[in-house]
């Protein structure tokens, strides 16, 4: 008896293998760049650089305007080629000049509209940041 002839699939499904959670918890360097080249327009900002961002540390990017600090942050956030992030990493950033797009609403309302946060959580965040006047 012969096997039935089958057609080649028209589409493929991406395979995702779950990672063991033990590796996520003990990752001392949750953000790693390896051979990262960063280009903005026609300007090459970084060439084949490597760096690691340690867990729990504050990192400052210092430099003159236009050297690529925001571009690097966006590259890390979007995990472009050359950047590996632990699955446990939760990132957020405030887009440069985002205030120019803000609507005429209170900071509390803006925060609730632009996030999935509840009103009580949003109020707590603003209070912790010392922005109590935004709660009125």
Instruction: Give the Cα separation of 49 and 131 in Å (integer).
Output: 39
In sequence order, the 6+-apart residues with CB closer than 8 A to the CB of 49 are 33, 35, 36, 37, 38
Residue with tokens 């949003």: 122
Indicate the pLDDT class of residue 24, thresholds 50, 70 and 90: low
* pLDDT tens sequence across 87-133: 888 777 767 777 777 678 888 888 888 888 888 988 888 888 888 77
Report domain extents, the chain: 22-85, 102-135
pTM for the structure as a whole: 0.57
């Amino acid at each position: 008896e012969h096997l039935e002839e089958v057609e080649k699939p028209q589409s493929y499904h991406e395979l995702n293998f779950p990672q063991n959670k033990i590796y996520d918890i003990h990752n001392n360097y949750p953000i790693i760049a390896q051979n990262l080249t960063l280009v903005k327009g026609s300007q090459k900002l970084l060439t084949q650089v490597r760096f690691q961002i340690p867990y729990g540390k504050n990192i400052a990017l210092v430099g003159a305007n236009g050297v690529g600090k925001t571009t690097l942050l966006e590259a890390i956030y979007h995990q472009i080629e050359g950047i590996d992030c632990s699955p446990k990493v939760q990132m957020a950033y405030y887009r440069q000049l985002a205030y120019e797009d803000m609507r005429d609403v209170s900071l509390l309302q803006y925060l609730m509209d632009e996030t999935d946060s509840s009103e009580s959580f949003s109020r707590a965040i603003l209070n912790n940041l010392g922005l109590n006047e935004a709660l009125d």
